């Protein structure tokens, strides 16, 4: 028995040593592509088009990392996993980046073996009601029935909010989002609650979208963020700064159309440093000189990624102005640290 | 005693049934039948009218939704709704049709799936002809060799580079076999000898027995060589297994499970009836364990728990895990079906086989199993049908089979919220598939004359 335990212990140590010996960046370079963990489908963030290609904001972040490492946005493999597998797939090293619209919370950051790096979309729980109800604020929903998905944080948030504001909201719970939406559109409940990005998508699927309004209040913090395996700062830096380069590029007015011209003509030192024509910022990251240029050329800056996937002209149609997702210059939270 | 045969007794009269009388005049014809059957009393008339009204509204609503108010050509769901608010939006299903059938298989390579499926069917086509010899051999060759051809077409790659040496060689052998099969079929139809007998005159003096086999192998190897020369110039774009999907993936999983279910089931069933305690107990534990756990939990365990136990660099394909799980499942259920068949074989059959001097293997293969399997056709087909439907469960663990592709339509930015139509379409498709399977089994029963 004792021998068996020892053998087992030895094996586990070996396996552990094996999986921690190489840093993720080296492993990715050896492998030739990035493994990106996503979910099955979430319009605007990750979904299939009919040609079978992935598209969405999370997808663009992973493509950005692939561009930074390889100069090629296609060198990424997407692994759609169930919710329960999200954490284990990163811990086991099966995935390099977790980017599946996951909210950054303390328990996930501290207890799941993940390091959350940055937030690419600030979301929050909101409410949608029929326009003819005449409701202008959540606080007018006293005694109302609200459709909600069971087992989600939305269900817990609404209970907290209702108790704190003495609203006596009655919830009608559903197991399946399409059933919940149908119930709401058939007037089985007064309001529908979900993350605001989700509400926008659901409104766009309504028989007549203009009949519904999304109330201004946001009752919870849902910071959709990407994460990597804990204790691998080399890889974490690569992923974190790839996203920072997208945000910085928007701030400096660099986009996928003018990046070529900017690279050769721009005299601004910040832009020259960002695009790798001056200085050696790439050395510390272990990436090629033109990594940020490749990211912007292949994927675009943050503004382009936003507009393409969730902006007013996309199906979600979420305005950016005045929200937390605007650049810090415009009063939002998108703030890239200094490229120096 | 022989003298009592009917043939030898002309005095014995044959029984001739009197033809049935026609129904009374007012019950003849369509109207007569309806009046007589459905309106023969007040209660019945009311009932008939009620059912007719309900049926009429049901059919009318379904047809209105699915056909008359439906939109077949549109750019997006919004446009569908603008054209007709209360009809089905088939345009979304039509624009995603390739996705539903081929999954994420690259558009330009989808012809390979068609060719692969056609080759698989072609292989089995000679079985339709009753004159062809060695029918079981053809079936076995399909199980043993076709997967290499299919794998080559679906995965792609060049010989010796992406495609392994063994796989490549086996593909050539398989294709050569198919070529021989067809040449033989054509030759035998024209009344000639088969190609495998080309070398017969040359070697016949040298060796007396086994010449058929020798000649067969020589011709096979020669054709294989020719095929490999041809294939080495072909290079197919490699396609990752992750991109397999849609109905195609459903067929792969169901096809694999169906072909493996019978052999696995036979082994487990015979094992369970074995008098050797170790074999008996192992078979019983496998059957009972697998049968008592829902398929979905086995699938979940295969994909969530295995990565934790295995080292990080050991990459197991999700499809392989699923195939093993589904195969084990189908085998365990099949084992019990076959055991039922085995128990129904009278003891006399075993005793007769023993009297003839047949051993265990021969008794089983020649006497017992053919009867047992024949008797169990309805049960076996029921298992196959439920297996085909169960494969949709793999969508839950993220394999892009037809179910998950259908759910993705509702998340495509042009077709957000399109849930119902894809599901209706899948239901219709599965009905067609399952119904034709059950019709085939009825046909098989008739041909094998199960009810003596």
The ipTM of this complex is: 0.76
Confidence of residue B200 (pLDDT cuts 50, 70, 90): low
> Testing the interface with A: which of B76, B79, B312 to mutate, by most A Cβ within 10 A?
B312
Q: Whole-angstrom Cα distance, residue A290 to residue A292?
A: 6
* DSSP of B243-307: G--HHHHHHHHHHHHHHHHHHHHHHHHHHHH-SSHHHHHHHHHHHHHHHTS-HHHHHHHHHHTHH
B151 CA: distance to closest CA in chain A (Å): 21
Q: A94 in contact with B at a CB cutoff of 8 Å?
A: yes
Q: Whole-angstrom Cα distance, residue A195 to residue A140?
A: 19
Closest by alpha carbon to B401, among B390, B411, B416, B386?
A: B390
Whether residue B418 contacts residue A204, with contact meaning beta carbons closer than 8 Å, is answered with no
Of A42, A81, A94, the CB nearest to B312: A94
Whether residue A120 contacts residue A225, with contact meaning beta carbons closer than 8 Å, is answered with yes
Q: Is residue B259 part of a domain?
A: yes
The predicted pLDDT at position B54 comes to 96
Are residues A62 and A83 both part of a single domain? yes
Of B103, B245, B410, the CB nearest to A178: B410
Confidence of residue B63 (pLDDT cuts 50, 70, 90): very high
Q: Note whether B411 contacts A178, CB cutoff 8 Å.
A: no
Are residues A114 and A251 both part of a single domain? yes
Last residue of a domain, one of B195, B215, B238: B238
Report the DSSP pairing between strands A125-130 and A212-214.
antiparallel
Q: A214 in contact with B at a CB cutoff of 8 Å?
A: no
Q: Is residue A10 part of a domain?
A: no
Torsion angle in degrees (nearest 10) through CA of A246, A250, A255, A256: 20
Sheet holding A145-149, edge to edge: A170-174, A145-149, A191-195, A125-130, A212-214
Are residues A116 and A159 both part of a single domain? no
The predicted pLDDT at position A16 comes to 46
| Mean pLDDT of all residues belonging to chain B | 85
Q: Whole-angstrom Cα distance, residue B426 to residue B207?
A: 59
Are residues B48 and B140 both part of a single domain? no
Residue of chain B whose alpha carbon sits nearest to that of A84: B304
Contact list, B315 vs chain A (CB under 8 Å): 94
In which domain, by residue range, is B43 found? Answer: 23-68
Residue of chain A whose alpha carbon sits nearest to that of B86: A207
Of B307, B412, B417, the CB nearest to A88: B307
Residue of chain A whose alpha carbon sits nearest to that of B399: A80
**Burial of residue A226 (number of CB atoms within 10 Å: 0-12, 13-18, 19+):** buried
Q: B164 in contact with A at a CB cutoff of 8 Å?
A: no
| Mean pLDDT of all residues belonging to chain A | 88
Are residues B198 and B254 both part of a single domain? no
Residue of chain B whose alpha carbon sits nearest to that of A27: B313
Contact list, B78 vs chain A (CB under 8 Å): 204
Q: Is residue A340 part of a domain?
A: no
Are residues A75 and A138 both part of a single domain? no
Are residues A119 and A132 both part of a single domain? no
**Whole-model pTM?**
0.81
Q: Note whether B416 contacts A52, CB cutoff 8 Å.
A: no
Are residues B140 and B176 both part of a single domain? yes
Are residues A112 and A136 both part of a single domain? no
Are residues A108 and A227 both part of a single domain? yes
pLDDT more than 90, % of chain B: 33
B238 CA: distance to closest CA in chain A (Å): 15
CATH classification at residue B452: 1.10.3720.10
Residues counted in chain A: 340
Q: Note whether A315 contacts B413, CB cutoff 8 Å.
A: yes
* 3-state DSSP assignment of residue A224: strand
Average pLDDT estimate for A170-176: 87
Strand partners, A55: A47
Q: Is residue A4 part of a domain?
A: no
Q: Whole-angstrom Cα distance, residue B419 to residue B408?
A: 9
The answer for residues whose C-beta is within 8 angstroms of residue A114's C-beta and 6 or more apart is A87, A90, A91, A98, A108, A227, A228, A229, A230
Q: Whole-angstrom Cα distance, residue A46 to residue A78?
A: 10
DSSP code of residue A172: E
- Poorest-confidence range of A177-181, B247-251, B428-432? A177-181
Are residues B336 and B429 both part of a single domain? yes
In which domain, by residue range, is A155 found? Answer: 125-220
Token pair, residue A328, equals: 């810090």
Are residues B351 and B443 both part of a single domain? yes
The predicted pLDDT at position B282 comes to 95
> B-contacting residues of A 36-75, CB under 8 Å?
40-44, 47-53, 55
Last residue of a domain, one of A173, A194, A220: A220
Are residues A240 and A202 both part of a single domain? no
Whether residue B254 contacts residue B388, with contact meaning beta carbons closer than 8 Å, is answered with yes
Are residues B262 and B230 both part of a single domain? no
Burial A285-306, CB ≥16 within 10 A → b, else e: bbbeebbbbbbbbbbbbbbbbb
The predicted pLDDT at position A12 comes to 47
Q: A3 in contact with B at a CB cutoff of 8 Å?
A: no
Are residues A56 and A169 both part of a single domain? no
The predicted pLDDT at position B316 comes to 66
Q: Note whether B407 contacts A50, CB cutoff 8 Å.
A: no
Which residue bears the tokens 């209970």? Answer: A159
Are residues B399 and B436 both part of a single domain? yes
Are residues A242 and A112 both part of a single domain? yes
Are residues A95 and A228 both part of a single domain? yes
B216 vs B132, which has greater pLDDT? Answer: B216
Last residue of a domain, one of A220, A239, A255: A220
Given a cut of 60, whether residue B355 has pLDDT beyond it is yes
Contact list, B107 vs chain A (CB under 8 Å): 51-52
Are residues A119 and A227 both part of a single domain? yes
Average pLDDT estimate for B85-100: 90
Q: What tens digit of pLDDT does each residue of A2-34 get?
A: 554 544 454 444 444 444 557 899 999 999 999
Q: Is residue B361 part of a domain?
A: yes
Provide the 10 A C-beta neighbour count for residue B44.
12
The predicted pLDDT at position B10 comes to 59
Q: Is residue A1 part of a domain?
A: no
Average pLDDT estimate for B267-272: 94
Are residues B201 and B326 both part of a single domain? no
Please state the domain count of chain A.
Answer: 2
Please state the domain count of chain B.
Answer: 3
B200 vs A116, which has greater pLDDT? Answer: A116
Q: What tens digit of pLDDT does each residue of A174-214 get?
A: 877 778 888 998 889 999 998 888 888 888 888 788 899 99
Q: Is residue A254 part of a domain?
A: yes
Are residues B327 and B184 both part of a single domain? no
Burial B359-384, CB ≥16 within 10 A → b, else e: eeeebbeebbbebbbebbbebbbbbb
Q: Is residue A171 part of a domain?
A: yes
Are residues B370 and B319 both part of a single domain? yes
Given a cut of 80, whether residue B6 has pLDDT beyond it is no
Are residues B263 and B152 both part of a single domain? no
Last residue of a domain, one of A172, A200, A220: A220
Provide the 10 A C-beta neighbour count for residue B442.
12
CATH classification at residue A86: 3.40.190.10
Q: Note whether A48 contacts B104, CB cutoff 8 Å.
A: yes
Q: What tens digit of pLDDT does each residue of A57-91 get?
A: 999 999 999 999 999 999 999 988 877 778 888 98
Confidence of residue B29 (pLDDT cuts 50, 70, 90): confident
pLDDT more than 70, % of chain B: 89
Q: Is residue A143 part of a domain?
A: yes
Q: Is residue A9 part of a domain?
A: no
Burial B411-431, CB ≥16 within 10 A → b, else e: bbbbbbbbbebbbbbbeebbe
Q: Note whether A94 contacts B413, CB cutoff 8 Å.
A: no
> Testing the interface with A: which of B76, B94, B415, B417 to mutate, by most A Cβ within 10 A?
B417
Confidence of residue B203 (pLDDT cuts 50, 70, 90): low
Of A15, A49, A181, the CB nearest to B412: A49
The predicted pLDDT at position B3 comes to 47
Of A50, A201, A208, the CB nearest to B416: A201
Are residues B122 and B166 both part of a single domain? yes
A41 CA: distance to closest CA in chain B (Å): 7
Q: Is residue B2 part of a domain?
A: no
């Amino acid at each position: 028995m004792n021998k068996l335990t020892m053998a087992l212990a030895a094996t586990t140590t070996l396996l552990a040593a094996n999986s921690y010996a190489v840093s993720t960046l080296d492993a990715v370079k050896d492998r030739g592509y990035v493994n990106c963990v996503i979910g099955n489908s979430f319009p605007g963030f990750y979904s299939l088009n009919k040609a079978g290609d992935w598209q969405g904001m999370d997808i663009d972040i992973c493509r950005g990392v692939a561009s930074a490492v390889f100069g090629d946005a296609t060198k990424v493999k997407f692994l759609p996993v169930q919710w329960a597998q999200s954490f284990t797939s990163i811990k086991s090293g099966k995935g390099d980046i977790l980017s599946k619209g996951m909210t950054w919370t303390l328990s996930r950051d501290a207890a799941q073996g993940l390091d959350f790096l940055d937030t690419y979309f600030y979301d929050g729980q909101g409410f949608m009601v029929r326009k003819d109800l005449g409701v202008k604020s959540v606080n007018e929903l006293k005694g109302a029935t609200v459709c909600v998905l069971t087992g989600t944080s939305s269900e817990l948030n609404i209970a907290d909010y209702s108790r704190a504001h003495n609203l006596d909201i009655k919830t009608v719970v559903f197991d399946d989002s399409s059933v919940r939406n149908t119930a709401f559109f058939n007037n089985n409940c007064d309001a529908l609650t979900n993350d605001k990005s989700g509400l926008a998508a659901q409104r766009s699927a309504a028989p007549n979208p203009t009949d519904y309004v999304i109330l201004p209040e946001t009752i919870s913090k849902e910071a959709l963020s990407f994460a990597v395996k804990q204790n691998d700062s080399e890889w974490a830096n690569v992923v974190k700064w790839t996203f920072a380069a997208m945000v910085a590029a928007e701030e400096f007015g660099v986009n996928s159309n003018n990046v070529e011209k900017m690279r050769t003509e721009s005299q601004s030192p910040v832009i020259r440093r960002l695009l790798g024509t001056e200085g050696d910022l790439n050395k510390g990251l272990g990436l090629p000189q033109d990594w940020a240029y490749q990211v912007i050329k292949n994927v675009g800056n943050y503004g382009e990624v936003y507009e393409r996937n969730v902006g007013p002209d996309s199906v979600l149609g979420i305005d950016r102005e005045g929200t937390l997702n605007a650049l810090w210059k415009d009063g939002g939270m998108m703030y890239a640290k200094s490229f120096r | 005693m022989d003298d009592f045969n009917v043939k030898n007794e002309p005095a014995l009269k044959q029984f001739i049934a009197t033809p049935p009388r026609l129904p009374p005049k007012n019950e003849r014809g369509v109207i007569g039948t309806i009046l007589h059957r459905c309106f023969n009393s007040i209660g019945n008339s009311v009932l008939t009218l009620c059912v007719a009204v309900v049926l009429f509204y049901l059919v009318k609503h379904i047809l209105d939704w699915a056909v008359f108010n439906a939109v077949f050509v549109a750019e997006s769901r919004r446009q569908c709704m603008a054209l007709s608010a209360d009809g089905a939006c088939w345009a979304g299903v039509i624009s995603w049709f390739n996705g539903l059938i081929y999954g994420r298989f690259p558009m330009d390579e989808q012809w390979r799936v068609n060719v692969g499926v056609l080759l698989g069917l072609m292989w089995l086509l000679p079985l339709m002809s009753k004159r062809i010899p060695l029918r079981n051999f053809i079936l076995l060759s399909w199980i043993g060799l076709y997967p290499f051809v299919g794998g080559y077409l679906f995965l792609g790659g060049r010989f010796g580079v992406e495609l392994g040496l063994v796989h490549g060689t086996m593909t050539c052998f398989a294709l050569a076999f198919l070529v021989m099969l067809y040449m033989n079929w054509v030759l035998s139809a024209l009344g000639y000898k088969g190609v495998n007998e080309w070398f017969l005159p040359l070697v016949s003096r040298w060796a007396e027995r086994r010449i058929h086999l020798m000649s067969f192998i020589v011709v096979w190897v020669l054709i294989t060589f020719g095929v490999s020369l041809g294939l080495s110039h072909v290079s197919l774009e490699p396609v990752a297994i992750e991109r397999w999907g849609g109905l195609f993936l459903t067929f792969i999983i169901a096809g694999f499970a169906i072909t493996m279910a019978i052999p696995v089931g036979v082994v487990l069933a015979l094992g369970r009836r074995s008098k050797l305690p170790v074999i008996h107990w192992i078979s019983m534990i496998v059957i009972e364990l697998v049968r008592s756990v829902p398929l979905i939990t086995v699938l979940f365990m295969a994909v969530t728990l295995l990565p934790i136990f295995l080292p990080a660099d050991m990459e197991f394909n999700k499809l392989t895990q699923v195939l093993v799980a589904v195969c084990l499942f189908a085998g365990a259920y099949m084992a019990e079906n076959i055991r039922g068949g085995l128990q129904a074989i009278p003891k006399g059959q075993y005793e007769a086989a023993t009297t003839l001097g047949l051993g265990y293997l021969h008794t089983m293969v020649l006497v017992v199993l053919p009867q047992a399997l024949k008797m169990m056709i309805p049960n076996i087909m029921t298992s196959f049908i439920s297996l085909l439907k169960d494969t949709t469960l793999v969508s839950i663990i993220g394999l892009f089979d037809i179910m998950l592709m259908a759910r993705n339509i509702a998340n495509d930015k042009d077709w957000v919220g399109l849930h119902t139509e894809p599901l209706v379409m899948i239901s219709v498709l599965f009905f067609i598939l399952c119904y034709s399977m059950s019709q085939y089994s009825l046909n098989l029963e008739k041909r094998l004359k199960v009810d003596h």
